[in-house]
Amino acid sequence: MKVVLIEDETMVRHMLRSTVQKAGGLSVVAEFGDGAEALAYCLRTSPAMVICDLGLPGMHGLEVIRALREKLPDIRILVLTGSTDGELPAQFIALGVQGYVDKTKPLNYLVQAVQEVAAGGLYFAAKTKITPHKTPPASPPPVQAGADPLSAREIEVAQLVASGQSSKEIASQLNLSVRTVEKHRANIMDKIGVRDVASLTRYSIQHGLVKI
């Protein structure tokens, strides 16, 4: 699998190259410190995966990602970020990014992210959190025809899950038992037809439960 690194810090690029080599089955074919140059190369060569920073000279990382997703819909995208902007996770998911990792996380997080995204999965590990709406809508439209709508409590739990909170944190905030929260989570995923938190977060964005 051909991988392009887009990162303006030389030392970080070296670390990324080493991480990709450890993942196995991947080959770094190009490295760029400039967003516009990287985008032009990717559009010419169609690599299978890019690992992209946000704060790039020439063209911001988000603009690079938007262009890649529009022109190369099958490309796998893993984002590196050191930002604490709470709106970024929702933007990443809305853009179809397969993963993002906080630069302050230990190296093993990055290794896991590269492996997971390269294998076709999703990986999200950052200190930022999605901001939920304070007042949930009465009931969002179902994803699938005939699916049961979410209850008011399920909407509340879905919002908090999408904001990055654990079942224990949600239980404390809503004055529920952890077991009850886990049951709500299972019911929500069953109703909307998803099996992971990333898909639940995407649903929450698409149905207006969290702000982008």
What domains lie within the chain, and their CATH numbers? Answer: 2-125 (3.40.50.2300), 131-212 (1.10.10.10)
Q: Which helix (H) or strand (E) holds 51?
A: strand 49-52
Look at residue 95 in the predicted model and tell me its pLDDT: 80
The Cα 174–Cα 69 span in angstroms is 38
Look at residue 143 in the predicted model and tell me its pLDDT: 42
Look at residue 80 in the predicted model and tell me its pLDDT: 87
pLDDT values of the chain reduced to their tens digit, one per residue, 212 residues: 999 999 999 988 998 898 888 877 899 999 999 999 999 999 999 999 999 998 888 888 989 999 998 999 899 999 988 765 666 777 777 788 888 888 877 788 888 889 888 888 778 775 544 444 444 444 444 444 344 577 888 888 888 887 777 788 888 889 989 889 889 988 888 888 887 777 777 777 766 676 54
pTM attached to this predicted model: 0.63
Give the type of residue at 143.
Answer: V
Look at residue 2 in the predicted model and tell me its pLDDT: 94
Look at residue 87 in the predicted model and tell me its pLDDT: 67
Nearest residue to 189 (alpha-carbon basis) of 176, 201, 179? 201
Look at residue 148 in the predicted model and tell me its pLDDT: 56
The Cα 45–Cα 136 span in angstroms is 44
**Those residues with Cβ within 8 angstroms of residue 172's Cβ, 6 or more apart along the chain or in another chain:** none
